Amino acid sequence: MNQDDYGALFERFERSAFRLEARDQYAVEDEQQDLAAFLNGQQSPPRTPRYDSWLAMVARATASGRTVERVRIAARPLADYTQFEFAAYPENIAAGEKVRVVERGSLQGADIAWADKDFWIFDDKTVALLRYDEEGRFLRAESTVDIDASQPSNERSAFPWTSQTSSGGSQS
């Protein structure tokens, strides 16, 4: 799918946008200066929906009754990027995103099979698989896959830590 089609998924979902974020390291060009400052012990300016497009989208979605949530799988010791991301989560949560963290070492059996796959699920039916290079640079979102939401077991129900009723975030 092209970048415009991928971006449109975030504006047109009707109920929920769920992210599984599984990489320990991402290389996001727009974040490199803030990441370097963070690693040098400097604070970045606060992010707000007024100045940050991601937070603005989250705020619009949640204000209209839609849910945006992510589960972050994290290894120990925490990678530098993961620490940087954790420091940003309070702003994501303030904008309305639900954030949960699962320690990679706690996963067992079948959970390990999907624990390195990044994806979004929109409205419990449309999946965008995210592809990155070895350094963590985003390459593309692959064609969406439609899930039959009428089936009792869809992709999202495989994650026991997700919940339509809980709010806020937790980090471990």
Model-level pTM?
0.82
Per the CB < 8 A criterion, the answer to whether 52 and 103 are in contact is no
The tens digit of pLDDT for each residue in 85-119 reads: 999 999 999 999 999 999 988 888 766 666 678 99
Give the mean pLDDT of 131-160. Answer: 69
* pLDDT at position 131 over 50: yes
Q: Nearest 5°: phi and psi at 140?
A: -175, 160
Domains of the chain: 3-158 (3.30.870)
The tens digit of pLDDT for each residue in 15-28 reads: 999 999 999 999 99
